[in-house]
């Protein structure tokens, strides 16, 4: 877009701090840890050549030869009679369901090793998120309990059943209440089991609660339309999207589903048809959705309510009190613009809000009625069933336990001793209950307070089902026998209620054959093949709004005023950890947060101006004290785009009973959440005070610099419409001089390349975890990430930018103030960066042992057994995408995050070699998948077809931002994509001829929206 726009990865690069300049002089900024390597302190295996290396002396030769250590021998026992369905080297695939989304599970010789989206899911095939990709690792988690537990001792299921039945009979005889507490349960079979259990024990009641709640939306719809439901949102039908702090591309309701919808109106196919939706985001902290918005406007938490009132007034012509943002002229100007555009796009617009306040969501309903959203972009006749929690019912449960009315309580996929609003009050109330049963898979924070832990299996060991939308049903089926002595919670409830059918598999099958499959034309066996059935949706109706808004507005104004003191504190879910249930997953802990790029920690986010005003530097330790007296000490992260006068802390950290990887990582922010007006509220106030000291966060973003080179290219949608090559730089190609021969792949069959659409990539990170799982990429831990040693083959670079007109180049007080102002209104671009598989690869020319070479089909290969670890290739790579194994991360007790044991290593992909110390590695373009695709085509005696081979990153991406294929096939999708006039190549001016083309980022802004940031 503007020629004076500058891009930077972090504040240290923008401000050119001495530390940044020093670290970027040399990508290997610290000396080789020769003594550690030679002494092998903490190594769990013996290396035969250790003494020889010591004798050789210190130097590069020692590290070089350390890479040649003998691999350990693993003995295996062959099958006496091989199961018919298991062929060594040939994977099996099973359908299952993860959090309501149908998935495909790859198993090798009985071991599940990879999760993919189910290609038969049709419109519900929306890729996968990072948590789904990482979930396979939890199957092999050694932190889980091995046997059921009774009174803190391992026991048998028979003894446990006798005890629970006896206690339930006592509870029933005493006339006390029984409560089954779960997170939102969208399994029709599980709900049926609970209903059968309640028939046996009439005082039983099912209480659903979610630590990150959507009760506000559900109650607002009940008040507005008489339907207590979570709507089905259709972002694909919206030409104009206005979001008030709803991170719908990340953590709000169903990020991967909404991403697929959202991107369908913004990707290269949509742009070529001349169509692009428009997106405004009003928010306090920088969210993943905010980074993707065309126009992002910062508002304080206390300003969100008045902004919505002002928007309603502007659309309807009403004059409700409390409207306007006198202290935020930018937001006030933006609200007027948005109101005008919403009025112009009636029936094709959508307003969403991330608040859990009933009154706020009721006002949002009124706005959506006024712009004709219902029946078009919002459907409450085919509602979403992902979240059905009721905050008030859970609060009443605590009161019932305190009054001594509850005789038994069961916890299914619920951990309130960690994530309840007031865990102290909850635990005190729980202590008054006679029978306390947890269905956890480990002794988590709640299970620790229970008499019985009826350990539950992983979802890949289970039978079950899910119903996430009206008419959409998917099956959960086991892909492996239970690894430990676990049993499904539903089966336990069947046994304890003396049900006639006590085998949960039979129960699920019977329920489907009786209640779900009839009329679908599918049998049980068809279901196990396809994974899901769909029924015709109901017609989506439009709705009117007759509710008086006086009380609603009064409540919003009162809540807004309550926040106008101290620092306004936002607690939120981030992409890696979400609500903290998967905190023991090392792949997720090491996944960089898409915005902050922080791993293994949460932090206190402050705007640059706020930090400067309070006198805090980055990583300073600060005490955060909530309105309820709860206090934590966290390091400061200076976050561009955070609203002035506010701070933000991520939920999901601070676990104490998660396991080796998750224990004591970060601080628990759930106690900052309050229960107000019948719902959980994630906006509160806090006071900040210096705690003294400093703690460096482990960030991945600013490890390398492109030295000011232009790697991001942007244009506005209006400019693109005039010239499809706008912003790409393709009109100003410079002459190149070539020392190599002409295109050597032209006649040699395949030329494997990739296209990445920057307009489609949201930066979610699912591709990173997919790559880690597929390619056996090790987790290195917080300290190694601090040392710039993360091993990810694929990273997503996040670039901030602003218009640099005000700041210029002279550093004065005025320019510094202008820069601070600009930092409140930065825009963001996400760019996936991996080995570019250059035709003129600079790494290949400097390798002394030909460990990295070019293949005949256009790929840059790494021969691990040749590599001697000189690292010349990493030094010569302009993209800094090569990784060096400083240690044997998979088998070194210094990196003990539960991956370093033979059991957890069952997750490893046998098609990919695990790398040892001293070896360089990088993206192989999933060469094992390419070979498998070729072999499958050869066995079927046919030519390889476009789409036969998909990369792990490509398959995980819900936005279809990554396109892989054969450039020599002119009809392949990748060839068509690369022919787009938006396509450019990063650092193409240095003539390395990269094999990955990027498509220019397009933003749907015009002169009016530019003025919003003026």
**256-265, 743-752, 975-984 — which is least confidently predicted?**
743-752
Q: Taking CA 373 as the corner, what is the angle to CA 277 and CA 260, rounded to the nearest 5 degrees?
A: 45
Q: Is the pLDDT of residue 81 over 70?
A: no
For the four alpha carbons of 239, 245, 247 and 253, in that order, the dihedral sign comes to negative
DSSP string, 515-537: IISTTTT--HHHHHHH-EEE-PP
Q: Is the pLDDT of residue 760 over 80?
A: yes
Q: For position 98, what pLDDT does the model report?
A: 93
Q: Is the pLDDT of residue 405 over 90?
A: yes
Do 637 and 605 touch, CB atoms closer than 8 A? yes
What is the rounded CA–CA span in Å between residue 211 and residue 579?
7
More confident residue, 71 or 95: 95
**147-161, 248-262, 695-709, 930-944 — which is least confidently predicted?**
695-709
**66-70, 417-421, 507-511 — which is least confidently predicted?**
66-70
Query: Which residues face 966 on adjacent strands?
Result: 752
Q: For position 32, what pLDDT does the model report?
A: 52
CA atoms within 13 A on the CB side of 807: 19
Q: For position 569, what pLDDT does the model report?
A: 95
Q: For position 894, what pLDDT does the model report?
A: 75
Kindly provide the b/e burial profile for residues 256-265, where b requires at least 16 CB atoms within 10 angstroms of the residue's own CB: bbbbbbbbbb
> Which tokens in the block code for residue 752?
């494997």
In this structure, the chain runs to a length of 1014
Number of Cβ within 10 Å of residue 293's Cβ equals: 24
Do 479 and 486 touch, CB atoms closer than 8 A? no
Q: For position 920, what pLDDT does the model report?
A: 93
Q: How confident is the model at residue 709 (pLDDT cuts 50, 70, 90)?
A: confident
Q: For position 259, what pLDDT does the model report?
A: 94
Strand ranges in 251-374 using DSSP code E only, listed in sequence order: 278-283, 295-298, 349-353
Residue range 994-1012: mean pLDDT, rounded: 83
**Rounded to the nearest 5°, which phi and psi values hold at 884?**
-110, 130
Residue range 550-564: mean pLDDT, rounded: 92
Q: For position 121, what pLDDT does the model report?
A: 83
Strand ranges in 480-630 using DSSP code E only, listed in sequence order: 532-534, 567-572, 598-599, 604-606, 620-626
Q: Taking CA 591 as the corner, what is the angle to CA 994 and CA 262, rounded to the nearest 5 degrees?
A: 70
Please classify residue 123 by burial: count the beta carbons closer than 10 Å to its beta carbon, then call 0-12 exposed, 13-18 middle and 19+ buried. exposed
Closest CA to 267 of 1011, 999, 1012: 999
What digits encode the pLDDT tens for the residues 29-56?
A: 455 554 454 444 443 444 343 333 333 3
What is the rounded CA–CA span in Å between residue 114 and residue 126?
17
Q: How confident is the model at residue 355 (pLDDT cuts 50, 70, 90)?
A: very high
Q: For position 389, what pLDDT does the model report?
A: 93
Do 355 and 299 touch, CB atoms closer than 8 A? no
Q: How confident is the model at residue 895 (pLDDT cuts 50, 70, 90)?
A: confident
Q: For position 314, what pLDDT does the model report?
A: 94
- Supply the DSSP symbol for 501: -
- Region of 757 please: left (phi>0), alpha (psi -120 to 50) or beta: beta
What is the rounded CA–CA span in Å between residue 344 and residue 371?
9
Q: How confident is the model at residue 192 (pLDDT cuts 50, 70, 90)?
A: very high
Q: Is the pLDDT of residue 525 over 50?
A: yes
Residue range 578-592: mean pLDDT, rounded: 94
Q: For position 737, what pLDDT does the model report?
A: 65
Q: Is the pLDDT of residue 28 over 70?
A: no
Residue range 789-809: mean pLDDT, rounded: 75
pTM of the model: 0.89
What is the rounded CA–CA span in Å between residue 145 and residue 402?
30
**Rounded to the nearest 5°, which phi and psi values hold at 513?**
-70, -25
Closest CA to 310 of 283, 277, 340, 349: 340
Q: Which residues contact 900 (CB under 8 A, 6 or more apart)?
A: 44, 890, 891, 892, 893
What is the rounded CA–CA span in Å between residue 758 and residue 827?
14
Do 446 and 418 touch, CB atoms closer than 8 A? yes
Share of the chain above pLDDT 90, in %: 67
Helix, strand, or coil (residue 293): coil
For the four alpha carbons of 214, 220, 223 and 224, in that order, the dihedral sign comes to negative
DSSP-H helix ranges across 604-727:
608-614, 717-722
Q: For position 740, what pLDDT does the model report?
A: 60
Residue range 685-711: mean pLDDT, rounded: 81
What is the rounded CA–CA span in Å between residue 391 and residue 683?
16
DSSP string, 734-777: PP---SS-S-TTTTSS--EEEEEETTT-----HHHHHHHHHTTP
> Which tokens in the block code for residue 69?
């250590």
């Amino acid at each position: 877009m503007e020629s004076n726009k500058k891009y930077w990865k972090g504040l240290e690069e923008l401000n050119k701090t001495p530390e940044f300049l020093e670290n970027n002089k040399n990508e290997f900024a610290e000396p080789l840890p020769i003594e550690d390597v030679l002494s092998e302190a903490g190594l769990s295996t013996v290396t035969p050549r250790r003494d020889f290396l010591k004798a050789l002396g210190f130097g590069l030769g020692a590290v070089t030869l350390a890479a040649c250590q003998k691999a350990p021998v693993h003995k295996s026992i062959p099958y006496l009679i091989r199961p018919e369905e298991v062929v060594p080297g040939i994977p099996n695939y099973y359908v299952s369901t993860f959090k309501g989304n149908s998935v495909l599970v790859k198993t090798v010789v009985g071991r599940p090793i990879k999760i993919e989206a189910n290609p038969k899911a049709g419109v519900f095939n929306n890729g996968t998120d990072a948590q789904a990709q990482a979930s396979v690792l939890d199957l092999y988690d050694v932190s889980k309990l091995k046997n059921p537990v009774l009174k803190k001792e391992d026991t048998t299921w028979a003894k446990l059943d006798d005890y629970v039945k006896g206690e339930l009979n006592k509870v029933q005889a005493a006339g006390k209440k029984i409560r089954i507490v779960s997170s939102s349960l969208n399994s029709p079979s599980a709900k049926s089991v609970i209903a059968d259990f309640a028939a046996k024990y009439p005082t039983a009641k099912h209480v659903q609660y979610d630590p990150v709640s959507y009760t506000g939306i559900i109650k607002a719809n009940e008040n507005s339309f008489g339907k207590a439901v979570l709507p089905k949102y259709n972002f694909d039908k919206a030409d104009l999207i206005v979001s008030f702090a709803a991170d719908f591309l990340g953590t709000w309701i169903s990020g991967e589903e909404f991403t697929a919808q959202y991107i369908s109106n913004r990707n290269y196919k949509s742009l070529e048809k001349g169509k692009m939706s428009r997106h405004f985001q009003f928010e306090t902290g920088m969210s993943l959705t905010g980074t993707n918005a065309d126009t992002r406007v910062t508002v304080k938490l206390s300003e969100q309510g008045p902004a919505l009132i002002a928007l309603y007034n502007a659309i309807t012509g009403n004059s409700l009190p409390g409207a306007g943002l006198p202290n935020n002229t930018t937001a006030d100007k933006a609200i007027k613009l948005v109101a005008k555009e919403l009025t112009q796009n009636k029936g094709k617009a959508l307003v969403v809000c991330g608040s859990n306040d009933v009154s706020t969501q009721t006002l949002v309903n009124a706005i959506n009625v006024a712009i004709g959203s219902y029946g078009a972009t919002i459907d409450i006749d085919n509602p979403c069933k992902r979240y059905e929690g009721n905050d008030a019912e859970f609060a009443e449960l605590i009161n019932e336990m305190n009054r001594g009315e509850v005789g038994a309580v069961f916890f299914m996929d619920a951990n309130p001793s960690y994530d309840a609003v007031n865990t102290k009050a909850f635990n005190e109330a729980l202590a008054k209950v006679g029978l306390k049963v947890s269905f956890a898979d480990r002794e988590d924070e709640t299970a620790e307070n229970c008499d019985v832990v009826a350990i539950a299996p992983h979802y890949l060991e289970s039978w079950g089902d899910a119903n996430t939308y009206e008419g959409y049903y998917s099956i959960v089926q086991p892909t492996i026998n239970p690894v430990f002595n676990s049993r499904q919670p539903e089966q336990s409830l069947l046994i304890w209620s003396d049900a006639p059918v006590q085998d949960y598999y039979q129960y699920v099958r019977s329920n489907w054959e009786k209640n779900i499959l009839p009329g679908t034309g599918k049998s049980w066996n068809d279901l196990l093949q396809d994974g899901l059935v769909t029924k015709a949706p109901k017609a989506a109706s439009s709705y009117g709004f007759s509710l008086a808004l006086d009380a609603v507005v009064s409540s919003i104004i009162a809540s807004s005023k309550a926040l106008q003191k101290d620092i306004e504190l936002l607690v939120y879910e981030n992409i890696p950890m979400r609500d903290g249930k998967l905190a023991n997953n090392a792949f997720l802990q090491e996944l960089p947060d898409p915005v902050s790029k922080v791993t293994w920690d949460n932090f206190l986010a402050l705007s640059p101006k706020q930090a400067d005003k309070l006198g805090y530097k980055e990583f300073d330790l600060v005490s955060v004290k909530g309105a309820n007296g709860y206090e934590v000490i966290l390091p400061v992260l200076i976050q561009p785009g955070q609203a002035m006068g506010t701070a933000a802390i991520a939920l999901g950290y601070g676990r104490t009973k998660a396991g080796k990887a998750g224990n004591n990582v970060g601080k628990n922010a759930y106690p900052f959440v309050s229960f107000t007006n019948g719902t959980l509220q994630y906006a509160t106030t806090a006071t900040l005070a210096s705690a003294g000291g400093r703690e460096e966060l482990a960030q991945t973003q600013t490890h390398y610099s492109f030295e000011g080179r232009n790697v991001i290219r942007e244009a506005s949608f209006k400019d693109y419409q005039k010239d499809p090559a706008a912003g790409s730089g393709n009109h100003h190609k410079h002459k190149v001089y070539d020392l190599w021969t002409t295109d050597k792949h032209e006649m040699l069959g395949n030329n494997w390349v990739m296209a990445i659409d920057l307009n489609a990539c949201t930066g979610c990170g699912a591709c990173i975890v997919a790559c880690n799982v597929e390619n056996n990429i090790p987790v290195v831990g917080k300290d190694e990430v601090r040392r710039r040693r993360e091993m990810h083959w694929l990273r997503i670079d996040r670039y901030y930018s602003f218009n640099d007109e005000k700041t210029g180049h002279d550093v004065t007080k005025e320019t510094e103030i202008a820069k601070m102002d600009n930092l409140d209104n930065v825009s963001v671009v996400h760019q996936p960066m991996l080995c570019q598989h250059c035709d003129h690869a600079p790494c290949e020319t400097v390798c002394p042992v030909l460990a990295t070479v070019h293949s005949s089909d256009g790929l840059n290969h790494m021969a691990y057994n040749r590599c001697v670890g000189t690292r010349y290739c990493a030094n010569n790579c302009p993209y800094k995408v090569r990784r060096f194994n400083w240690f044997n991360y998979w088998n070194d007790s210094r990196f003990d995050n539960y991956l370093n044991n033979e059991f957890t290593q069952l997750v490893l992909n046998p098609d990919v070699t695990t790398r040892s110390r001293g070896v360089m590695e990088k993206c192989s373009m999933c060469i094992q998948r390419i070979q498998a695709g070729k072999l499958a085509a050869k066995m079927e005696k046919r030519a390889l077809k476009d789409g036969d081979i998909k990369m792990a990153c490509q398959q995980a991406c819900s936005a279809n931002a990554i396109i892989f294929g054969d450039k020599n096939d002119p009809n392949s999708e990748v060839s068509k994509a690369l022919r787009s006039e938006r396509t450019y190549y990063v650092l193409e001016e240095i003539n390395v001829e990269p094999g990955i083309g990027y498509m220019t980022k397009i933003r749907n802004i015009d002169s009016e929206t530019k003025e919003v940031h003026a």
